[in-house]
Amino acid sequence: MAVVLVDAGGTNIGSVRYALQRLGTDAELTADADAIRAASHVILPGVGAAGPGMRRLREAGLVDVMRGLTQPVLGVCLGMQLLCERSEEADTECLGVIPAPVRRFAEAPGLRVPHMGWNGLRVTSTHPLVDGVRDGDCAYFVHSYAVPTGDWSLAESEHGVPFAAIVAHRNFMGMQFHPERSASLGAQLLRNFLSL
């Protein structure tokens, strides 16, 4: 197994890498197209904004590389949003490998944005990625934009409205929260991904 972390400048790369190390997997951090294509599992982490995130992928020549991958690919937080079609964040065209939009949480009284903290999951589809996840298990979220629920949802959460917390479309998967900071649930989900 050769797991790579796509190094497009996101700041949580170290944290994701450490989380994999705790599971006994040493992931290479790389922006090299060949290494990414050759990997058994590809993880796209990301913190920050969609525009700069896509710009970094373009500058690294990785947009078509990412789109063409056939092995299991996991986007984490912003990384998941970058796998989608388009983000309302500065109206950014994303990789488009998951046929979902990314929208800003609507303003509502008492609803704080960013959505920050531990929130419960509700599993809505059967998929090996969500094996062992029980309804009500909490994951750690930090985000202002979200993917609506849809055919792509494996698990949902709620912040004013329901939104997709875990998604999958073909070999492309995403987690809106930070598995590397979601205690034992996060470890379980990363383990599930690595065993795909």
Cβ proximity to other proteins: between 18 and 61 the closer is 18
Counts of helices then strands in the chain (DSSP H, E): 6, 14
Residue 145 Cβ, how far from other proteins at the closest point, in Å? 11
Report the 10 Å Cβ neighbour count for 96: 14
Is 138 a known active-site residue?
no
Q: Who contacts 104 (Cβ-Cβ below 8 Å, separation ≥6)?
A: 88, 89, 113, 144, 145, 146
Q: Which of 94, 143, 159, 180 is catalytic?
A: 180
Residue 154 Cβ, how far from other proteins at the closest point, in Å? 20
Residue 114 Cβ, how far from other proteins at the closest point, in Å? 5
Cβ contact 173:9 at 8 Å: no
Report the 10 Å Cβ neighbour count for 40: 12
Where does this chain bind other proteins (CB under 8 A)?
11-12, 14-15, 18-19, 21-22, 47-49, 78, 110, 112-120, 138, 140, 142-144, 158-159, 178, 180-184, 186-187
3 state SS of 158: strand
d(CA 45, CA 53): 10
Q: Which of 77, 84, 89, 115 is catalytic?
A: 77
Residue 151 Cβ, how far from other proteins at the closest point, in Å? 25
Is 115 a known active-site residue?
no
Cβ proximity to other proteins: between 29 and 33 the closer is 29
Is 28 a known active-site residue?
no
Residues carrying an active site annotation: 77, 178, 180
